[in-house]
Amino acid sequence: MGHTFQMKRGFRLISISLKGFSQVMLMENAFSGGLILLGIFLYSPLLATMAFLSSMAGTLTGYYLGGDRAAVKSGLYGFNSLLSGMAVMLFLYVSWRWMVVPFVGCTAGLLMILFSKVFNKLHIPVLTIPFVLMTWIGLMLTYQIDGLHVNPSFVTASPTQWLIPYNGTPNFFVSLIKGVGEVFIIDSFWAGSLILLALFVAGWRYGVYAIAGAFISWLTAISLGVDVASLDLGLYNYNAVLTIIAVGLLFDERRNFPFVGILAAAMTVPVTAGMDHLINPFGLPALTSPFIISTWIFLIIRKFLPI
Amino acid sequence: MGHTFQMKRGFRLISISLKGFSQVMLMENAFSGGLILLGIFLYSPLLATMAFLSSMAGTLTGYYLGGDRAAVKSGLYGFNSLLSGMAVMLFLYVSWRWMVVPFVGCTAGLLMILFSKVFNKLHIPVLTIPFVLMTWIGLMLTYQIDGLHVNPSFVTASPTQWLIPYNGTPNFFVSLIKGVGEVFIIDSFWAGSLILLALFVAGWRYGVYAIAGAFISWLTAISLGVDVASLDLGLYNYNAVLTIIAVGLLFDERRNFPFVGILAAAMTVPVTAGMDHLINPFGLPALTSPFIISTWIFLIIRKFLPI
Amino acid sequence: MGHTFQMKRGFRLISISLKGFSQVMLMENAFSGGLILLGIFLYSPLLATMAFLSSMAGTLTGYYLGGDRAAVKSGLYGFNSLLSGMAVMLFLYVSWRWMVVPFVGCTAGLLMILFSKVFNKLHIPVLTIPFVLMTWIGLMLTYQIDGLHVNPSFVTASPTQWLIPYNGTPNFFVSLIKGVGEVFIIDSFWAGSLILLALFVAGWRYGVYAIAGAFISWLTAISLGVDVASLDLGLYNYNAVLTIIAVGLLFDERRNFPFVGILAAAMTVPVTAGMDHLINPFGLPALTSPFIISTWIFLIIRKFLPI
């Protein structure tokens, strides 16, 4: 009986850790999480394994160090951990980087506990702040410290290459799929497709909103005249996808036509350009910081404005 | 009769749009606004026209999208719009930049509505925050995006040229006139003179305070040992002029001798140097950000200090 | 009798100015302050004299311009002044820099009055914010202005030299002593030793906590793989020493085992690396900003967390 109980707990931990993957897209659905994990696995089995372990580490940290129980169950202590673990695997260029992942997963879980207590009082969601802060500080440490090195291929997803002279025809479909994958910092067609499928599995609204967000940011970026290469990499899309879901769906209790969400999605494009301009000289990528900034701005405005 | 009504409304819109020009100097006076517009017109008729249209766009946005009625009437939805429109005309180097101006004017009006709701609850004035933020984000977008270019002559008003070896005798009169013009980002003797006249027209205090603020910052800058060329361009003055009016006149209900305003005006000089040092590497000008920072600091301090 | 009264006041002023030196280490003890002053005197008599005068200037400013009486008596209006005065003597490279010191001392005292009023309402300690802000703005002014020059030997204490290839054996003892001295921006064995003695004089807890903080940051820095030269200079230690005293001792009314203080001390190492990465390109040293950031983060967290 104790054995059955143990197995039950094990299954529950796995289920919650999978939910963590769906929480990155602001959903709570273990099956969607599994589809996303499968997408990452097709890109790199090692990366997927470490991401899953990191999600577990964050969940256990949340559970045992006093995180909110309902939040633990919904996978909220996993998503920053798995993103941070993936960042370590992708950006850090030392052979023992996998050893850092569990530690990073726990720290992200701990930060999630601390930040939740502070932000909840202010009625502002934490979003991916622990992931972004930890990855930035980690990259800065790596630059400062002799023994650590940044992955040289890290530049592939970096907007320092935005101005590559490439003059093809922009392809919205490629841009959408790649953009959805860039939420998980990877550039993969299969991962993107499975993440998109996961969105529809969790609810048709998630899928439709994600496509709408990607399309709006794509149009905004084209009308501003960006180059096609970065458009096709989805670098202008992933923040808009997250932002339209956050502003238009998750934090909007009325579920009207997401006018404010569309505005917020369009705003991510200049905010992304601005963030890149400010932090690229320091060797830092924007990550999901434009999503955080745009979502916070619109949530704060909506608090004061009775729209 | 409907026709007369239409004409009345038209005149009122023109009058409010002119007030917008006076609101840049924190005054509410349509005639002063007209003098300032004339000064800009003598510098560049096209620039003046676009500035006026931008002021109208901002005013209409404020009126139709739910801005505060009293604020609309006093021209408060025009001043950030006209400054932003002028920044587009001066900094953006594409032939169709005039087409961007109405859009920018409306956006500045919209931001004014949103920021007013948030800032009013905190009892802090919005000042030129929409103009500064929009111009910075616009410049960063322009740097990042292939199809846009920054006006090469934009550097004339940029403090990246502060250290030009120029050893003349500093001339306060030139510095004062040019400095008043720099509030509107232009380097023109006639514009500066007419703006100064506009200040006296709105009230002798405005004129005297502006001259006092320019003189204090001029003395501070000289005693710190800056070069004469930038002094004569008025680059150390324009923030002090705005700050002494804001701190010493507008937000001081008692109208004593403006001791705090003088301190605030002197403080703009090191704050300007600091801002330039921090943001020039990113290709951004300080604009009126030293005015915003100095005014906010002193307003916050005065809230807590019973002077 | 009036003479005796005058002498009494003189002695009190000296005693309070000495307390200012102990307040840098978050203590209130005139004798400890005297030991620290002696340490600085052994490093440079002129520097010590100017530091003492600056502490007096700040104290008098606090007294006559309406600072809190209890705070004045405990030396709280001296410590930012003396640090700022020392920064002027160490960083500014003009012969008349000693003339700037009294002015800087008074300004730091004035900022302390203003910041205290604001921060006390928020229940957050001001710490060394006036010193850090004034020194940064002063350095930026110096870079911008023709007539001023930064001390070329200023780089000795700068982390721009962190990556010097030096492969000795890290020596905790050297690192501890140097690190304690770096709180006062100087690299001196005798000063460090006397400051450490001053800590034990004020209370065994201060001394033990300082050593513990230095050891934790030393271990953290080594395990992250920093080079030995900067470790031995104590550049990774001084913020940890201050932080563990602030978080674990001063603002902890219960005096348990300082678990949170140890976490905060360890956190200063990545925060120091991050700050250096962000501000060194601007020619600015981190100073005690990592101490301020780490202490504020943990104090804010502890407000929301019932540990």
pLDDT above 90 for A251: no
Say whether both C70 and C208 belong to one domain.
no
Residue B254: the pLDDT is 65
**Within-domain flag for C154:** no
- Is A168 within 8 Å of chain B by CB? no
Percent of chain A with pLDDT over 70: 89
Q: How close is the nearest chain C Cα to the Cα of A146, in Å?
A: 6
Q: How close is the nearest chain B Cα to the Cα of C114, in Å?
A: 6
pLDDT in tens, B94-145: 888 888 999 999 999 999 998 888 888 878 899 999 999 999 988 888 887 7
Structure tokens at C292: 């301020």
Average pLDDT (C206-216) is 93
CB A141 within 8 A of CB A113: no
Say whether both B22 and B133 belong to one domain.
yes
Within 10 angstroms of residue A152's Cβ, the number of other Cβ atoms is 8
Q: Which of B117, B148, B281 sits opposite A305 (nearest CB)?
A: B117
- Is A259 within 8 Å of chain C by CB? no
Residue A166: the pLDDT is 46
CB contact under 8 A, B118 and A224: no
CB contact under 8 A, A141 and C278: no
3-state secondary structure chain C: CHHHHHHHHHHHHHHHHHHHHHHCCCCCCHHHHHHHHHHHHHHCHHHHHHHHHHHHHHHHHHHHCCCCHHHHHCCCCCHHHHHHHHHHHHHECCCCHHHHHHHHHHHHHHHHHHHHHHHHHHCCCCCCHHHHHHHHHHHHHHHHCCCCCECHHHHHHCHHHCCCCCCCCCCHHHHHHHHHHHCCCCCCHHHHHHHHHHHHHHCHHHHHHHHHHHHHHHHHHHHHCCCHHHHHCCCCCHHHHHHHHHHHHHCCCCCCCCHHHHHHHHHHHHHHHHHHHHHHHHCCCCCCHHHHHHHHHHHHHHHHCCC
- Is C143 within 8 Å of chain B by CB? yes
**Within-domain flag for C80:** yes
Q: How close is the nearest chain C Cα to the Cα of A276, in Å?
A: 15
Say whether both A108 and A214 belong to one domain.
no
Domain finish residue from C91, C126, C149: C149
The length of chain B in residues reads 307
Domain finish residue from C128, C149, C170: C149
**Within-domain flag for C298:** yes
Domain finish residue from B98, B120, B152: B152
Percent of chain C with pLDDT over 70: 90
How far, CA to CA in Å, does C204 sit from each of A265, C173, C207?
A: 57, 18, 5
Select the residue from A124, A224, A228, A296 to test the B interface by mutation, using most B Cβ atoms within 10 A: A224
Domain count, chain A: 2
Say whether both C89 and C12 belong to one domain.
yes
Residue C200: the pLDDT is 95
Q: Which residue has the higher pLDDT, C273 or A45?
A: A45
Say whether both C206 and C137 belong to one domain.
no
Say whether both B22 and B135 belong to one domain.
yes
Terminal Cα-to-Cα distance of chain C (whole angstroms): 55
Rounded to 5°, the CA angle B16-B19-B21 comes to: 125
pLDDT in tens, chain B (307 residues): 567 778 888 899 999 999 999 999 999 999 999 999 999 999 999 999 999 999 999 999 999 988 889 999 999 999 999 999 999 999 888 888 888 999 999 999 999 998 888 888 878 899 999 999 999 988 888 887 766 777 766 543 444 444 444 456 778 888 888 888 889 988 888 899 999 999 999 999 999 999 999 999 999 888 877 767 777 777 888 999 999 999 988 776 666 778 888 989 999 998 988 888 888 888 888 999 999 999 998 888 777 665 5
CB contact under 8 A, B141 and A225: no
Say whether both B49 and B15 belong to one domain.
yes
pLDDT above 60 for A165: no
Gap between the Cα atoms of C290 and C239, Å rounded: 6
Say whether both A262 and A165 belong to one domain.
yes
Poorest-confidence range of A197-201, C2-6, C287-291?
Answer: C2-6
Residues 6+ apart with CB under 8 A from A92: A100, A138, A142, A148, A149, A150, A151
Say whether both B93 and B176 belong to one domain.
no
Gap between the Cα atoms of B289 and B299, Å rounded: 15
Residue B152: the pLDDT is 67
Poorest-confidence range of A216-220, B248-252, C77-81, C177-181?
Answer: B248-252
CB B181 within 8 A of CB B232: no
pLDDT in tens, A105-138: 999 999 999 888 888 887 889 999 999 999 998 8
Structure tokens at A170: 């922009």
pLDDT above 50 for A163: no
Residue B304: the pLDDT is 67
Residue A13: the pLDDT is 94
Residue C250: the pLDDT is 78
pLDDT-based confidence at C254, cuts 50/70/90? low
Gap between the Cα atoms of B86 and B90, Å rounded: 6
What one-character DSSP code corresponds to residue B188?
-
pLDDT above 50 for C155: no
Q: How close is the nearest chain C Cα to the Cα of B165, in Å?
A: 9
How far, CA to CA in Å, does A20 sit from each of A108, A251, A287, C58?
A: 13, 19, 18, 54
Average pLDDT (C33-53) is 95
Gap between the Cα atoms of C198 and C216, Å rounded: 21
pLDDT above 70 for A195: yes
Instruction: Residue B10: give the domain boundaries.
Output: 1-152
pLDDT-based confidence at C157, cuts 50/70/90? very low
Q: Which residue has the higher pLDDT, C172 or B243?
A: B243
Q: What's the whole-number average pLDDT of chain C?
A: 86
**Which residues does residue C92 pair with via DSSP β-bridges, in sequence order?**
C150
Nearest CA in chain C to A283: C277
**Within-domain flag for C301:** yes
pLDDT above 70 for C63: yes
Say whether both C100 and C182 belong to one domain.
no
Q: What's the whole-number average pLDDT of chain A?
A: 86
Say whether both B139 and B168 belong to one domain.
no
| Chain C residues within 8 A of A114 when measuring between CB atoms | 301, 304-305
Say whether both B205 and B135 belong to one domain.
no
Domain at B304, CATH number: 1.10.3430.10
CB contact under 8 A, B145 and A224: yes
